[in-house]
Amino acid sequence: MKKYRFEYFASCPSGLEDILAKELSELGAKITVPVRGGVQFEAFHEVAIRAILQSRIASRVFKFLYQFEVNNEKDYYLEATDIKWKSLMDVTHTFRLTTIFGDLPFEREEFRNSQFANLKLKDAIVDYFRHHEGERPSVEKDFPDVSFLARVDRGREKPYLITILYDLCGDPLNQRGYRISKTEAPVKENVAAGILKLCRWEPETEDLIDGMCGSGTFVIEAALMAGGIAPSYLKVEKHLNNPEIKQWTFLNYPWLTKDELLMENFKNILSEIKESSMKGFEKLAKLKGKISGNDLSEMSLLSARDNLRKAKLDKYIELTQVDARVLNPGENKCLFICNPPYGERLEHGEEEKLKALYKGLGDHWKHNFKNKRAALFTGNLEMLKVVGLKTSKRHILYNGDIECRLAEYDLY
Ligand SMILES: C[S@@+](CC[C@H](N)C(=O)[O-])C[C@H]1O[C@@H](n2cnc3c(N)ncnc32)[C@H](O)[C@@H]1O
């Protein structure tokens, strides 16, 4: 059985892998394998903790634990009972298991489905604890103390290669804690941050206007970037107020928490984040007016206001209510972001309305956006053609399961 020490995997929305790899390198990670949907990296544990607290792009960070090959499910159970589970969790912890399958070139007779594979691993963990501690931990699907990921791939010497990883995060990292109110089809927080990076937005040189801000995701992520505020700042604050409630599952991982130096470094990172957030808010006070949101719908604006308040950013971001097709971009250089409705389930006549919206945006930009930049993010690939402007760049991105396009326009 192979035991890993310093290998990690950070997952992210598809299309943002390169940006995530750059972010992780800047935090001190050595990138080993960029793959679809994430980045594998080697790092000291402190760097992995920094990734959890400071990455704007990662969805989750996993630590590689063990890898072994098996012939069948029985083997899997036996190998898994050999793992020293008490170094990974306490018997009092609740746990969750997730199994994913890589490309297997044959009918998987033994590993019939992920529930069945989960069951084998669960039996191994429970039996291990019963044998060594006389009691067993319980499974918890929604809010477990610890969470494991098992991958089943094609083996070299035996049919199946099993990799066990530890989910160090718990809740996905894109759930920053400010989204208390949602509108239809909000963009994921890390997708919004990734789009701002893909567009190379520089707060020092360009204003940012979100013409269809919905629940405010782009303007909030932009403000956090402009202020240099870590995306985990709200969770850090909660942790400092009440360390008993674990904001990240790595705090239940005995192998890490027993490392006194690492825990000391963790405390220092928390203080660093708290301090830089305070400085970030001061910086944002000076940047007032540079980031603004707009939406036609009263409901969307109510939702954006709730989220901005929760994010403690309401003082720094202005919201307006006009049709994005007549919104005046002002004199400054700016990046005008727009995430129009996709029209997933179009009723009769709605397609025409949607076309008029996308065409109207294109016409407005053509006539009134001299020397500005615009970026349109949509899950409706057909509608992009209707905009009628030449794109300077296009990117394929996923917002959840939906394949989307980000189209950039340099306007003259
Ligand atoms: C897909 S949602 C945007 C979601 C947003 N990015 C978020 O993360 O919450 C589209 C938004 O466009 C707004 N909208 C639709 N037509 C508009 C128009 N003509 N002008 C301004 N906003 C409009 C809707 O009210 C809705 O809030």
Per-residue pLDDT tens over the stretch 222-240: 999 999 999 999 999 999 9
CB 307 less than 6 A from any atom of ligand 1 = no
- What spacing in Å lies between the alpha carbon of 338 and ligand 1's midpoint? 8
Mean pLDDT of the residues in the chain: 94
CB 357 less than 6 A from any atom of ligand 1 = yes
Query: Can you tell me the distance from the alpha carbon of 309 to that of 184, in angstroms, rounded to the nearest whole number?
Result: 20
Nearest CA to ligand 1 atom 8: 186
Architecture of domain 2-167: 2-Layer Sandwich (3.30)
Query: Can you tell me the distance from the alpha carbon of 276 to that of 230, in angstroms, rounded to the nearest whole number?
Result: 8
CB of 384 closer than 8 Å to CB of 358: yes
What atom in ligand 1 is closest to the CA of residue 211?
A: 21
φ, ψ for residue 244, nearest 5 deg: -65, -35
Best of 300, 328, 363 for a ligand 1 pocket test (most atoms within 8 Å of beta carbon): 300
Residue type, 300: S
Best of 183, 327, 380 for a ligand 1 pocket test (most atoms within 8 Å of beta carbon): 183
336 is written with which tokens? 């005008």
Query: How do the residues of the chain divide into helix, strand and coil, expressed in percent and rounded to 5?
Result: 40, 20, 40
Q: What pLDDT was estimated at residue 348?
A: 64
Residue type, 286: K
Specify the residue for token string 């937005």: 201
Q: Could you say which DSSP state residue 376 is in?
A: E
Around Cβ 178, how many Cβ atoms within 10 Å? Answer: 24
Query: CATH 3.40.50.150: which residues of the chain?
Result: 189-233+277-410
CATH number of 189-233+277-410: 3.40.50.150
Per-residue pLDDT of the chain in tens (412 residues, 90 and over written 9): 999 999 999 999 999 999 999 999 999 999 887 788 999 999 999 999 999 999 999 999 999 999 999 999 999 999 999 999 999 999 999 999 999 998 777 777 778 788 889 999 999 999 999 999 999 999 999 899 999 999 999 999 999 999 999 999 999 999 999 999 988 889 999 999 999 999 999 999 999 999 999 999 999 999 999 999 999 999 999 999 999 999 999 999 988 899 999 999 999 999 999 999 999 999 999 988 899 999 999 999 999 999 999 999 999 999 999 999 999 999 999 999 999 998 766 566 788 999 999 999 999 999 999 999 999 999 999 999 999 999 999 999 998 889 999 999 999 8
Best of 182, 191, 296 for a ligand 1 pocket test (most atoms within 8 Å of beta carbon): 296
φ, ψ for residue 146, nearest 5 deg: -135, 155
CB of 101 closer than 8 Å to CB of 108: yes
CB 300 less than 6 A from any atom of ligand 1 = yes
CB 186 less than 6 A from any atom of ligand 1 = yes
CB 293 less than 6 A from any atom of ligand 1 = no
- What spacing in Å lies between the alpha carbon of 324 and ligand 1's midpoint? 9
In three-state secondary structure terms, 98 is strand
321: Cα separation from own chain's centroid: 29
362 is written with which tokens? 């294109």
CB 276 less than 6 A from any atom of ligand 1 = no
Query: Can you tell me the distance from the alpha carbon of 137 to that of 91, in angstroms, rounded to the nearest whole number?
Result: 5
CB 302 less than 6 A from any atom of ligand 1 = no
**Triad 205, 336, 315: Cα angle to 5°:** 70
Best of 195, 295, 319 for a ligand 1 pocket test (most atoms within 8 Å of beta carbon): 295
Burial grade of 276 (CB within 10 A; 0-12, 13-18, 19 or more): middle
CB of 353 closer than 8 Å to CB of 383: no
CB 297 less than 6 A from any atom of ligand 1 = yes
- What spacing in Å lies between the alpha carbon of 16 and ligand 1's midpoint? 23
Query: CATH 3.30.2130.30: which residues of the chain?
Result: 2-167
- What spacing in Å lies between the alpha carbon of 294 and ligand 1's midpoint? 8
What atom in ligand 1 is closest to the CA of residue 357?
A: 19
CB of 140 closer than 8 Å to CB of 150: no
The length of the chain, given as a count of residues: 412
**Triad 266, 57, 47: Cα angle to 5°:** 30
CB 295 less than 6 A from any atom of ligand 1 = yes
Per-residue pLDDT tens over the stretch 8-31: 999 999 999 999 999 999 999 998
- What spacing in Å lies between the alpha carbon of 313 and ligand 1's midpoint? 20
pTM for this model (two decimals) = 0.95
